[in-house]
Amino acid sequence: MIYYAPLATMLKGQKMIGHPVFIKIPNDKFVVKKDSFEDLEIHPTPSDDSFYYFYNKKTRNLVKQFTLSEQEQVEYQCQVILIKKGEKFTPRLAFSIRNKAGEIQKVPATADSRDLKANVNLDKCHDQFWQLISFLQSIRTIEIPKENFSLKTQEESEIINALNVRDPASILSIVKKLSLTEGVNITEADINQLLKRKEKLKTFKASMGTKQLEEKWWQDFFEENKWIFGYGLNYQILKQTQPQATYGGVSFDGKGAKKGDYLTHTVGNLKFTVLVEIKAPDTPLLQGTSEVRNGAWSLSKHLADAVSQISADIATWENEGSQQEDNKDRLENNNIFTVKPKGIIVIGNLGQFSDIRSKRGTFQRFRQSIHGIEILTFDELFERATYIVDEKEEEKGKA
């Protein structure tokens, strides 16, 4: 079969005079995994500007058939036609198995094949097929559905479709009401599974060994996984009130004033604000190559600065930020109060000095001597979060 393309497509950079000249070019095939997708671009057909095919810039041929596999007797082919809709294209694919003479392979007439309308088995070229699909998906102007599919009953599908049009608050309200239905019991273990908390813990553990991650990455990670801070901190449940809170100035979510990483609060009939400062797991806790005196090591500048920083933040928030009328009104309307706010520093890893007794002693004595500030290492926070998830899973198994 013969197709046509403008001569200009093959004479790039040359000045054209008069009307475009068309010449005949052969419809050469494109062999996946042999030819390069980088040589392809989209061209219209001369007869109908709504139908488009790929054009091979290297061989200067129009490509209509993609050969997925070349066997001894046959070829597995995929025809790709692009339909233009506005500024986008939608692909139409047709698969066939052809012999070397170009004829479509026929299915033998048997009792099993009488009702067979089409059968193209891609077992021998499934890698090439997905490589072609991946290429089509990589082109921004081609629209290919990227939804995730799952099998579900028609009734479940109808319910999910009905929920999808509701706002998040409405969906949450429905789930809460369902949890009160007799026979329906949504446990903490179910929540852990729904939120994929075990997968988040794997990310937490793996990331602690990645030195390239900065404090900002950890701040974002804890923001997305607030439940990690929801357990085990002196047996008080902490909730986040405001990330990157302004501790002094116009309001605790304002701009241009002193900021910390987190403003949180405890949970109860009355709630009290807590300040949290996030560092990195590889932050040094001690420094020096030897003891400064018998059984004592020097604290690292990073640890000392973190304590000084959160101490100043606590004072600023208690004396300025929490007393600002707008802040006080907004927090106290939710039963959140500020009375000698506690500070929490998440910094470093105990593994830094697991082999030296005097280092362990120096660090533990230091953090126990500080009043109103809890110094928590990343590995300790990880173990507490792991315990909560595993404990809830164990309780579910016993139920």
Per the CB < 8 A criterion, the answer to whether 56 and 31 are in contact is no
For 298, 351, 365, 366, 375, the CA distances from 358, given in Å and listed in that order, are 11, 14, 10, 12, 18
pLDDT score recorded for residue 171? 74
Per the CB < 8 A criterion, the answer to whether 53 and 80 are in contact is yes
For 198, 223, 348, 382, the CA distances from 205, given in Å and listed in that order, are 11, 17, 13, 7
pLDDT score recorded for residue 119? 66
pLDDT score recorded for residue 382? 92
Shortest CA distance to 396 belongs to which of 237, 185, 198?
Answer: 185
- Which runs of E-coded beta strand occur in 302-381? 336-346, 373-376
Report the distance separating Cα 273 and Cα 162, nearest Å: 40
Does the pLDDT value for residue 334 go beyond 90?
no
pLDDT score recorded for residue 193? 63
The DSSP string of 68-110 is EEE-SSEEEEEEEEEEEETTEEEEEEEEEEEETTSPBPPPP--
Can you state the angle between helices 197-208 and 215-224, rounded to 10 degrees? 170
The DSSP string of 359-393 is HHHHHHHHHHH-SSEEEE-HHHHHHHHHHHHHHHH
Q: For the residues 108-122, what does the mean pLDDT come to? A: 60
Report the distance separating Cα 184 and Cα 166, nearest Å: 22
Name the DSSP letter for residue 226. Answer: G
pLDDT tens for 155-178 read: 666 777 777 777 767 777 777 777
Does the pLDDT value for residue 215 go beyond 50?
yes
22 forms beta bridges with 6
pLDDT score recorded for residue 47? 66
Q: For the residues 31-53, what does the mean pLDDT come to? A: 82
Does the pLDDT value for residue 185 go beyond 80?
no
Which amino acid is located at 16 in the chain?
M
Report the distance separating Cα 263 and Cα 395, nearest Å: 32
pLDDT score recorded for residue 232? 45
Q: How far is CA 101 from the centre of its chain?
A: 49
Which amino acid is located at 61 in the chain?
N
Report the distance separating Cα 45 and Cα 32, nearest Å: 22
Report the distance separating Cα 220 and Cα 30, nearest Å: 46
Pairing of β 65-70 and β 61-63: unpaired
Per the CB < 8 A criterion, the answer to whether 242 and 255 are in contact is no
Sign of torsion, CA 100 106 110 115?
positive
Least confident span in 188-202, 250-264, 365-379: 250-264
Report the distance separating Cα 380 and Cα 382, nearest Å: 5
The percent helix, strand, coil of the chain (3-state, each to 5) is: 35, 25, 35
Does the pLDDT value for residue 297 go beyond 70?
yes
Stated pTM of the model: 0.50
Q: For the residues 319-341, what does the mean pLDDT come to? A: 84
Shortest CA distance to 279 belongs to which of 346, 211, 228?
Answer: 346
The structure tokens 């579910």 sit at 396
